[in-house]
Each structure stands twice: as C-alpha cells, then as structure tokens.
Structure 1
Amino acid sequence: MGILNVTPDSFWDGGRYQHLDAALRRAEAMLEEGAAIIDVGGESSRPAGSV
C-alpha cells in the first residue's frame, strides 16, 4: 500500500505531490515498487491545520 498526499500543506511531504504530473509519477513509482493499493490523501491532517 502506498500513501500519496496531494494537499499543498501536507505535513509529511510539504506539498511535493500537489501537481498532477508529480502525483502521477509518484503513483507510478509506488506501483513499480509493489503497491497494490494507493491511498490518496486529499485533506491535510497536520497538527494545527484547518479543515
């Protein structure tokens, strides 16, 4: 399983995958690395983040 955060304020990766081309490249890499499922995070859960 791979986790792909696509929010601009992601606590984990700092918004590195918020643009479509970057997100697709990372998803493809996860699949090549053996991920059978990709969980796409569309809302940040960082501490003190707004919802």
Structure 2
Amino acid sequence: MRLSQALTDAGRPHQLLALPGVTHMLPGGNREKLMALELEFFRRELA
C-alpha cells in the first residue's frame, strides 16, 4: 500500500492486484506467477 501511495503521489500510473485471504505465503506455484507480474510491472512502468 505504501508503494501504491508513493506512485500515486508521484503521478505514476500503476496497478494494484488484491489477493483476498492471501498472506505473504502464497500457495502452490502462485508465488512465481505473482513475482513475474511484479517484475513485468516494474519493467513497464518504471523504466
């Protein structure tokens, strides 16, 4: 949430992916999928 706020304050477009009921420990292979989405976001939006 702090990153989202900082990006909003800086006028940078971004997306927020809500994962209801999920903590930092993602089940199964979902962690890798989420990390790939995060990396794609950083490359696209902050390059």
State the TM-score, normalizing by the size of structure 2: 0.38
From the CA coordinates, give the structure whose radius of gyration is larger: 2
Higher helix share: 2
TM-score, with structure 1 as normaliser: 0.35
